[in-house]
A = this chain, B = another copy of it.
Amino acid sequence: MSTRRTELTRAAARLFAEKGYHGTSTADLADALGVQKGSLYSHIESKADLLWEVASEGSAAFHAALDSVPDEGPVVERIRLALRAHLRVVAEQLDVATVFTREWRYLEGERRERFLDERRRYEERFRALFREGREHGELRTDLDDATATLLALSAANWAYTWLRAGVDTDALADRFTALLLDGMRGYASR
């Protein structure tokens, strides 16, 4: 993809994250490139293309990050790595992560469905970790893994609102993991 086209996508990610998809006009996008708004259409067919592209980039980045987590080994460790992977993507590609998490819903038609498939698949990959942990006895056998997944994904999905570049996301993910595993009470109950 040509340089100019890439610049446009980057500007779109930044502006969509900052002002929202509907809050960003083609004039805003053109200004970011120092160009007239009509000139954008040498590169795209519509503004919606840019949203689709950035959202897809987010899907790809999060799935790729999860791919780096091994299929084998202690589940507890893999959960830690999955959280690390997710938070790293959020911090390093904050704009893309924001569009992936918040602005995707302005996708329309078949693209919206395709995006939702990817998003559901991503959450399913998380859920599988917690289920496996319960089934293999690494996590408590009476664990409500649906709730546990929800809690972990909430932390992951909310991160774009407060995470900023430069934070040590590995340490952060490890703190989340420690809390999720052992709780705040710190000793066994019931």
Report if A27 contacts B (CB, 8 A): no
Contact call A130/B184, Cβ cutoff below 8 A: yes
Interface code A151-171, partner B: CB below 8 Å = 1, 0 otherwise? 101110111011000000000
Return A107 CB to nearest CB of chain B, in Å: 12
- Residues of B contacting A190 in the complex (Cβ-Cβ under 8 angstroms): 182
Q: How many copies does the complex hold?
A: 2
Whether B20 and A175, one on each chain, are in contact in the complex, defined by CB atoms closer than 8 angstroms, is: no
> Contact partner of A179 among B76, B102, B183, B186, CB < 8 A?
B183
Q: How large is the interface on A (under 10, 10 to 19, 20 to 34, 35 or more residues)?
A: 35 or more
- B-contact 0/1 string along A133-150, CB 8 Å cutoff: 100001110111001101
Give which listed residue, B20, B133, B153, B172, contacts A184 with CB less than 8 A.
Answer: B133
Cβ of A41 < 8 Å from any Cβ of B? no
Asked if A150 meets B143 with Cβ closer than 8 Å, knowing A22-B22, A182-B189, A185-B182, the reply is no
